[in-house]
Amino acid sequence: MTFHAIVPAGGAGTRLWPLSRRSAPKFLADLTGSGKSMLQATVDRLAPITDDVTIVTGAAHADAVAALVPGASLVVEPSARGTMGAIGLAAAIVEARDPEAVVGSFAADHLIADEEAFRRAVLRAAEAAEQGYVVTIGISPDRPSTAYGYIEAGESFGPACSVARFVEKPDEATAAEYLATGRYLWNAGMFVAKAGVLMDALARFHPELAEPLRALAATWEAGREDGVAEYWEPLESAVIDTAVAEPLAEEGGVAVVPVEMGWSDVGDYASLADVVESNEQVAPRGSEQTVLAPPDALVYTGHKPVVVVGIPEAVVVDMDDVLFVTTRASSQDVKLTVEALGRSGLGRLA
Amino acid sequence: MTFHAIVPAGGAGTRLWPLSRRSAPKFLADLTGSGKSMLQATVDRLAPITDDVTIVTGAAHADAVAALVPGASLVVEPSARGTMGAIGLAAAIVEARDPEAVVGSFAADHLIADEEAFRRAVLRAAEAAEQGYVVTIGISPDRPSTAYGYIEAGESFGPACSVARFVEKPDEATAAEYLATGRYLWNAGMFVAKAGVLMDALARFHPELAEPLRALAATWEAGREDGVAEYWEPLESAVIDTAVAEPLAEEGGVAVVPVEMGWSDVGDYASLADVVESNEQVAPRGSEQTVLAPPDALVYTGHKPVVVVGIPEAVVVDMDDVLFVTTRASSQDVKLTVEALGRSGLGRLA
C-alpha cells in the first residue's frame, strides 16, 4: 500500500486573533510553544506513516508554506473551492498516477496530544480504506460539545465500524443524548480512502466536480500548466462532508475508526486553553519569559515578563505589533473584535 | 509675605507597580498621560503662588529629581527620617534666613484636578498661617472613605476653621457618621505655617528633633557641609501629623481650610482609575497608541496598540520591561505581587 497524506491549509479564522491573522492563518502559528507551526506539526505527525505529504494551499500562503515545510509537496490552488476542491484536486493527482493508492486528508490546524494513538487510528483507517471504504476518524467525545458535528457509529468490522449517519452540530440536550448512547463520535473532518474510490464516489454524486478535477489533474500530470480557466475556475465550492461522506454513508460506504487522542480543532481561546496544559505558559516565538499568573491563565509572551493578577481564566497575547487581553469566557467575542479593528484605524492588525 | 513650598519626594509605594518602582517611585511617574511626572506637576501647580519650591529627596533620587525639575531648589536628605525630618529640615533652613516666612508642605505624588481651587485654598491657608496657625488643607469628602485620616473642623474664623481634632482612618460605619455630620474633612497631609511657628511648635513637643534640625540648618546655611553625622544620623524618624499637628490641635493652634478640588493620593489603581477620566486611555510615555477597550478600562500603552475584551474594570500596564494585567478590584493585591517578584526571579522589576 502506498499512502499519501493530503493537508488542506486554508481558511483565515479570526477567533484566535492576534495569534492568527488574515495574512497569517492559524496553521502558520505556533499555538503551543512547541517551536513549530501547526502545519509543520501536522506534517511531522504524518511523516512516519505516509509515503508523501501534499499540502494544498492558496497562492497567498504558498511562499510561507514552502519556507516553513520544505519537505512537503505543494499543490497551489488557483483559488478557493472548499475542502472538496482542495482534497479532490490532490486526490485526482494521486489517482492519475495510481488509483489504488490510499489518500488521507488531515486539517493543518488541529492539535493532537497523543500522536501514537493518532497514527494507530490512521493506519487502521487505511486498512479499512483498502477494503473499499471511505473512512473517517471519529473522536470519542468526553463532553456533550455543541461545537462539532457527530458521527453515529454502526456495526464494528475488523479495523473500523460502519457509519450509520453524519449529523450536524446538535443543541445541548441532543449532544447529551448522543454522549449517553456511547455510539456517537465527533467528526474531526479526517477522511481516508483509495484515491480511485474517493474520486469514483465524487463522480457518482457530483460529476460536475469530479470531471473537471480529473481533467485538471491530467493536464498537470502531463506537465502542462493549462486547464485552470477551463476546469478550475467554473468549479463550485463544496465541502467533502456533504459532497461525498454523507450521501455515501447512506449507502453504507463509509466507515469510522474511533479514537481517543486528545484532539482539538482549537477553534477559539477556550478550546486552546483546554489543550495547553494548566499552568504551562506559552512563548510562541521561542522567547523564555517569566510569567506570574494564576494556573488557569493562558499567556503568550513576547519580549518581556508578564504578570497577571486577579483575572480568572485570563488570556494574554503579547505580540510585537499588538497586545491583546481577554478571558476564556469572552472567546466568542474575539471575532467581533477583529471585525471592529478597521473602525478604530487598526485594520492592518486584522 | 514670602511663601516657600516644600515638596517631600520620598517613599517607594508598590501599589502602583509597575508604573512606580523601588528605583523610580510614584512621583517620578506620569500617571495621567499629561506628559510630566507627578513631581513636576506638583511644582508647576505651586509655582504661581510661591516664591520658591524646595524638593526634599533622598540621595538615590537626587539626580533624577534635578534632571526632571531643574527649576526647583533641592535639599538632599542624608537618609530618610520621615515627613517630620524632611519637612523640618527644609523649614529649619527657611527659618534660619527668615522665621516670618511662610512654608507649605505638599506631597509630590498627589493628583489635583481643580488647580485654581487648590491655589485659592493654599493662599487662604497662608493667610491663616500669618495669624500664627499651623494650617492644613482639608478635603471635603464625597464618600465615606476608610483610606484617609479625618480632620474634625471647629469654628470658622476669617480664612479658615479651627481644628477640633485629627482622627485616624475610621471603619466604614464611623466614616459614614463622619460624612453625615458635614464637619469632617480628609487629611491630605498638606501643612502651611510660618517657618518659625512650625519649628517653635516642634521645639515644644519634640526638642530632640527641633534642636538637631536647627543646628544642621545652621551649619548648611553657613556654607559648611558638616553636621550630618552629629545632627541628622541620630535623629528619630517621625511624621509631622503626630509630631506637631495633633498635639498642637489640642491646644487650638491648628486651622484647616476646607476645599473641593478633585484630590486623590492615587494610593492604588482603583483610586487612580477614579481620577483618570472614563475612557481616557493613558500613554504615560508620550506614545499615541490606539486602545480598543471598554470605557472602564485603565490602559497604559507602550509601543503598540492594546485591545481589551470582556474584562470589567481592567488595568493594563505595558512597560518596556514588563507587562502587568489586573483589575481595579484587585488593587489591594498589587503590593503582594511585587513582594512575590523576587521569588520568581523577577526581583529586578520590583
A283 has a pLDDT exceeding 60: no
Q: How far apart are CA A257 and CA A122, in angstroms?
A: 8
The position carrying cell 494507530 is A120
- Between A150-164, A223-237, A272-286, B313-327, the lowest mean confidence (pLDDT) is in A272-286
Q: Which helix (H) or strand (E) holds B85?
A: helix B82-97
What residues of chain B, 327 to 346, have a C-beta less than 8 Å from chain A? 327, 329-330, 333-334, 337, 340-341, 344-346
- Tell me the nearest-neighbour CA distance from B267 into chain A, angstroms: 18
Predicted local confidence at residue B281, as pLDDT: 55
Predicted local confidence at residue B105, as pLDDT: 98
Residue bearing the bigger pLDDT, A302 or B210:
B210
B22 has a pLDDT exceeding 90: no
Q: Which residues of A touch B302 (CB under 8 A)?
A: 323
Sheet holding A291-292, edge to edge: A291-292, A306-308, B323-327, B314-318, B298-300
* Cβ-based neighbour number of residue B164 at 10 Å: 18
Is B335 found in the same domain as B187? no
* Cβ-based neighbour number of residue A66 at 10 Å: 14
Q: Which residues of A touch B308 (CB under 8 A)?
A: 324-326
Three-class SS state of A311: coil
Q: How far apart are CA A163 and CA B142, in angstroms?
A: 70
CB contact under 8 A, B325 and A333: no
- Of chain A, the end-to-end C-alpha distance in Å amounts to 44
CB contact under 8 A, B309 and A322: no
Residue A280 pLDDT level (bands cut at 50, 70, 90): low
A87 has a pLDDT exceeding 60: yes
CB contact under 8 A, B346 and A290: yes
Q: How far apart are CA A184 and CA A182, in angstroms?
A: 6
Is B156 found in the same domain as B208? yes
Long-range contacts (CB closer than 8 Å, 24 or more residues apart) made by B74-82: B77/B10, B77/B232, B78/B228, B78/B232, B78/B233, B79/B232, B79/B233, B80/B10, B80/B237, B81/B232, B81/B235, B81/B236, B81/B237, B81/B238, B82/B237, B82/B238, B82/B239, B82/B240
- Strands B291-292, B306-308: pairing is parallel
- Residues facing residue A70 across a β-bridge: none
A39 has a pLDDT exceeding 70: yes
Residues B85, B235: contact at Cβ < 8 Å? Answer: yes
- Strands A291-292, A306-308: pairing is parallel
CB contact under 8 A, A320 and B304: yes
A165 has a pLDDT exceeding 70: yes
Residue B278 pLDDT level (bands cut at 50, 70, 90): very low
B11 has a pLDDT exceeding 70: yes
Of A311, A334, A349, the CB nearest to B311: A311
From B237, B264, B291, the end of a domain falls on B264
What integer is the mean pLDDT of A198-223?
Answer: 97
Model confidence pLDDT, tens digit, residues B292-332 = 998 889 999 889 999 999 999 999 999 999 999 999 999 88
The position carrying cell 500500500 is A1
Predicted local confidence at residue A271, as pLDDT: 85
Of B302, B311, B319, the CB nearest to A325: B311
Task: Specify the number of domains making up chain B.
Answer: 2
- How far does CA A13 lie from the centroid of its chain? 12
Residue B153 — φ and ψ, nearest 5°?
-80, 145
Is B191 found in the same domain as B58? yes
Mutate one of B15, B292, B296 to test the A interface: name it (highest A CB count within 10 A): B292
- Between A51-60, B126-135, B268-277, the lowest mean confidence (pLDDT) is in B268-277
User: What is the b/e burial string over A221-253, where b = at least 16 CB atoms within 10 angstroms of the residue's CB?
Assistant: eeeeeebeeebbeebeebebbebbbbbbbeeeb
The position carrying cell 481620577 is B275
Predicted local confidence at residue A273, as pLDDT: 83
- Nearest chain A Cα to B323, which residue? A306
Written as one string, the DSSP assignment of B117-152 is HHHHHHHHHHHHHHTT-EEEEEEPPSS--SSS-EEE
Of A310, A329, A337, the CB nearest to B333: A310
Is B67 found in the same domain as B199? yes
The 8-class DSSP code of residue A28 comes to G
Three-class SS state of A225: coil
B30 has a pLDDT exceeding 90: no
Q: Which residues of A touch B332 (CB under 8 A)?
A: none
Residues A293, A307: contact at Cβ < 8 Å? Answer: yes
Residue A70 burial by CB count (10 A; 0-12/13-18/19+): exposed, middle or buried? exposed
What is the complex's ipTM, to 2 decimals?
Answer: 0.84
* Cβ-based neighbour number of residue A339 at 10 Å: 12
B311 and A CB contact within 8 Å: yes
Is A43 a domain residue?
A: yes
Is B269 a domain residue?
A: no
Predicted local confidence at residue B32, as pLDDT: 82
Q: How far apart are CA B114 and CA B263, in angstroms?
A: 8
CB contact under 8 A, B311 and A318: no
What residues of chain B, 105 to 144, have a C-beta less than 8 Å from chain A? none
Residue A32 pLDDT level (bands cut at 50, 70, 90): confident
CB contact under 8 A, A290 and B316: no
What integer is the mean pLDDT of A315-321?
Answer: 94
Is A156 a domain residue?
A: no
Of A307, A337, A349, the CB nearest to B309: A337
The position carrying cell 480511485 is A196
| Residue spans of alpha helices (H) in chain A | 38-46, 59-68, 82-97, 115-130, 172-181, 195-205, 207-221, 240, 246-250, 269-275, 334-341
A311 has a pLDDT exceeding 90: yes
- Nearest chain B Cα to A336, which residue? B309
Is B35 found in the same domain as B61? yes
A314 and B CB contact within 8 Å: yes
Is A158 a domain residue?
A: no
Is B281 a domain residue?
A: yes
CATH code of the domain containing B102: 3.90.550.10
Is B61 found in the same domain as B181? yes
- Tell me the nearest-neighbour CA distance from A315 into chain B, angstroms: 10
Q: Which domain holds residue B290?
A: 275-349
Q: Which residues of B touch A350 (CB under 8 A)?
A: none
Model confidence pLDDT, tens digit, residues B43-89 = 999 999 999 999 999 999 999 999 989 889 999 999 999 999 999 99
The 8-class DSSP code of residue A282 comes to B
Predicted local confidence at residue A71, as pLDDT: 84
Predicted local confidence at residue A24, as pLDDT: 86
Q: Which residues of A touch B318 (CB under 8 A)?
A: 323
| Residue spans of alpha helices (H) in B153-308 | 172-181, 195-205, 207-221, 240, 246-250, 269-275
Is B71 found in the same domain as B46? yes
Task: Using alpha carbons, list the distances in angstroms from residue B90 to B102, B174, B198, B236, B241.
Answer: 12, 36, 11, 16, 16
Predicted local confidence at residue B126, as pLDDT: 98
CB contact under 8 A, B310 and A329: yes
Q: Which residues of A touch B327 (CB under 8 A)?
A: 310-311
Q: How far apart are CA A199 and CA A84, in angstroms?
A: 11
Is B179 found in the same domain as B128? yes
Residue A233 pLDDT level (bands cut at 50, 70, 90): very high
Of A325, A341, A346, the CB nearest to B316: A325
CB contact under 8 A, A321 and B329: no
Model confidence pLDDT, tens digit, residues A186-206 = 999 999 999 999 999 999 999
Task: Using alpha carbons, list the distances in angstroms from residue A79 to A17, A76, A228, B36, B242.
Answer: 24, 8, 10, 54, 79
Mutate one of B268, B290, B325 to test the A interface: name it (highest A CB count within 10 A): B325
Is B39 a domain residue?
A: yes
Of A292, A304, A323, the CB nearest to B340: A292
What residues of chain B, 273 to 302, have a C-beta less than 8 Å from chain A? 290, 292, 302
Model confidence pLDDT, tens digit, residues A40-55 = 999 999 999 999 999 9
CB contact under 8 A, B337 and A309: yes
Q: Which residues of B touch A316 (CB under 8 A)?
A: 323, 325
From B203, B229, B264, the end of a domain falls on B264
Written as one string, the DSSP assignment of B274-291 is HHSPTT--B-TTS----E
CB contact under 8 A, A307 and B330: no
Is A217 found in the same domain as A344? no
- Tell me the nearest-neighbour CA distance from B342 into chain A, angstroms: 11
Mutate one of A298, A307, A335, A337 to test the B interface: name it (highest B CB count within 10 A): A307
What is the average pLDDT value for chain B, to the nearest integer?
Answer: 92
B221 has a pLDDT exceeding 70: yes
B74 and A CB contact within 8 Å: no
Is B182 a domain residue?
A: yes
A285 has a pLDDT exceeding 50: no
- Tell me the nearest-neighbour CA distance from A333 into chain B, angstroms: 7
Q: How far apart are CA A240 and CA B89, in angstroms?
A: 84
Model confidence pLDDT, tens digit, residues B96-137 = 999 999 999 999 999 998 999 999 999 999 999 999 999 999
**Count of CA atoms in the C-beta half-sphere (13 A) of B259:** 29
Predicted local confidence at residue B282, as pLDDT: 59
Of A173-177, B60-64, B268-272, where does the model show the most confidence?
Answer: A173-177
Is B270 a domain residue?
A: no
Is A282 found in the same domain as A331? yes
Predicted local confidence at residue B279, as pLDDT: 44
Share of chain B above pLDDT 70, in %: 96
- Residues facing residue B157 across a β-bridge: B160
- Tell me the nearest-neighbour CA distance from B45 into chain A, angstroms: 35
Is A223 found in the same domain as A88? yes
Predicted local confidence at residue A187, as pLDDT: 96
Q: Which residues of B touch A344 (CB under 8 A)?
A: 290, 292
What is the average pLDDT value for chain A, to the nearest integer?
Answer: 92
Residue A282 pLDDT level (bands cut at 50, 70, 90): low
Is B324 found in the same domain as B209? no
Q: Which residue type is seen at A145?
A: S
The position carrying cell 477583529 is A338
Q: Which residues of B touch A308 (CB under 8 A)?
A: 324-326
Predicted local confidence at residue A281, as pLDDT: 55
A91 has a pLDDT exceeding 60: yes
Q: What is the largest CA-CA distance in chain B?
A: 63
Predicted local confidence at residue A286, as pLDDT: 47
